[in-house]
Amino acid sequence: MDTPLILAIVGGFAVNFIQLLEYAKLPKIKRPEFKDLLFWLPYIGWPFLSYILAFAYIESGIMLSPLLALNVGLSAPLIFRAMINANPMQPSSIDPGEGA
């Protein structure tokens, strides 16, 4: 496996790891249920999606430096969320203003 792909996976995992460290600051009552399988799903999903995104960049002919590959992995959750929320089939509403 290429170094850029590995760094993208590490970046995708790092996002979840940072969130996991934040749970230590919460009182025990407010901490999530760590035994729940759905809690751990992002620890598999985001690194995998980071790999897919880095692979797509590489296959598109973009040369990923180590720092850029790590950045792609770190930003992959945001990129995929933005792509999901951008629905091109949803008609945009135009507000003509008051009195129109």
Q: What is the pLDDT of residues 9-49, one digit of tens each?
A: 999 999 888 888 888 888 988 888 888 888 888 888 989 99
Distance CA 11, CA 68 (A): 10
Residue 69 domain boundaries: 3-20+34-83
| Positive or negative: CA dihedral 49, 88, 78, 26 | negative
**63 domain residue, yes or no:** yes
Domain count, the chain: 1
Report the chain's mean pLDDT, rounded to a whole number. Answer: 86
pLDDT over 90 (residue 81): no
Q: Tell me the C-alpha to C-alpha distance, in Å, between residue 48 and each of 75, 96, 100.
A: 13, 44, 50
**26 domain residue, yes or no:** no
**90 domain residue, yes or no:** no
**94 domain residue, yes or no:** no
pLDDT value of position 52:
93
